[in-house]
């Protein structure tokens, strides 16, 4: 094993990678240490126990999929449509261990079995939906239309991963572009 101590964030990132690959049961200190090329003793320099790591993994995930994304969208300026385009681009290109679809899906699966995780997911999803509402509301006046657009946009972010269908003469990328155009009309 190596003697260089990886930063705390690497343990969290590796934990999220393990979670995405095999669920919370796959987040094991020994396996993470091996993946990081260090001894498991380094883990205890940062975390009291596995539960502390799991909590910090959820903290990191929640922050990265809500506030960090919103900050990234807002920092580019522009009107609501430009910000929604930026949000869609960020969401469709998110493939890291924290913000990727597999991490999101793993947390959703975990939330089905753990009430504390379900509460985190509920809070994160509500924050995401509130942000979508604020953007769509700037150019849509009908509350039902706003809610439908938010639901479709958010469902597409989560559900696109599960859809294996062909789209006739269109590629998936073309259909996604058309969907974005429809949502922004």
Maximum pairwise Cα distance, the chain: 60
- Whether 39 is in a domain gets the answer yes
Residue range(s) defining the domain that contains residue 38: 8-54
**Beta partners for residue 2, in sequence order:** 38
In this prediction, residue 8 carries a pLDDT of: 93
Same domain assignment for residues 94 and 147: yes
In this prediction, residue 93 carries a pLDDT of: 83
Q: Would you give the end-to-end CA distance of the chain in angstroms?
A: 56
Residue in 29, 157, 21, 156 with CA at minimum distance from that of residue 97: 21
Same domain assignment for residues 15 and 49: yes
Residues of the chain with pLDDT below 50 are 1-2
In this prediction, residue 74 carries a pLDDT of: 98
User: Domains in the chain: how many in total?
Assistant: 2
Q: Kindly report the backbone phi and psi dihedral angles of residue 55, in degrees, each rounded to the nearest multiple of 5, phi listed first.
A: -65, -45
Same domain assignment for residues 171 and 81: yes
Same domain assignment for residues 121 and 164: yes
DSSP code string of 129-143:
HHHHHHHHTTT---H
In this prediction, residue 84 carries a pLDDT of: 98
Same domain assignment for residues 44 and 73: no
Express each pLDDT in 125-172 by its tens digit.
Answer: 999 999 999 999 999 999 999 999 999 999 998 888 889 999 999 999
- Whether 3 is in a domain gets the answer no
- Upper half-sphere CA count for residue 54 (Cβ side, 13 Å): 19
The answer to whether 31 and 18 are in contact (CB under 8 A) is yes
Report the predicted TM-score, pTM, of the whole model to 2 decimal places: 0.91
In this prediction, residue 2 carries a pLDDT of: 47
Contacts 24+ apart (CB under 8 A), 32-36: 33/1, 36/6, 36/10, 36/11
CA dist 60 and 69 (Å) reads 12
């Amino acid at each position: 094993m190596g003697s260089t101590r990886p930063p705390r964030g690497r343990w969290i990132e590796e934990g999220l990678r393990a979670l995405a690959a095999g669920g919370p049961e796959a987040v094991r200190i020994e396996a993470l240490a091996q993946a990081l090329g260090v001894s498991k003793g380094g883990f205890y320099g940062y975390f009291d126990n596995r539960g502390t790591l799991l909590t910090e993994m959820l903290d990191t995930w929640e922050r990265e999929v809500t506030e960090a994304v919103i900050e990234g969208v807002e920092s580019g300026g522009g009107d609501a449509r430009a910000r929604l385009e930026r949000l869609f681009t960020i969401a469709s290109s998110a493939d890291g261990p924290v913000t990727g679809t597999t991490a999101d899906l793993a947390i959703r699966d975990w939330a089905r079995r753990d009430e504390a995780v379900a509460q985190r997911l509920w809070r994160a999803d509500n924050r995401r939906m509130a942000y979508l509402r604020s953007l769509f509301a700037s150019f849509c006046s009908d509350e039902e239309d706003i809610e439908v657009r938010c639901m479709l946009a958010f469902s597409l972010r989560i559900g696109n991963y599960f859809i294996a269908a062909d789209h006739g003469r269109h590629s998936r990328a073309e259909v996604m572009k058309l969907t974005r155009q429809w949502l922004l009309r």
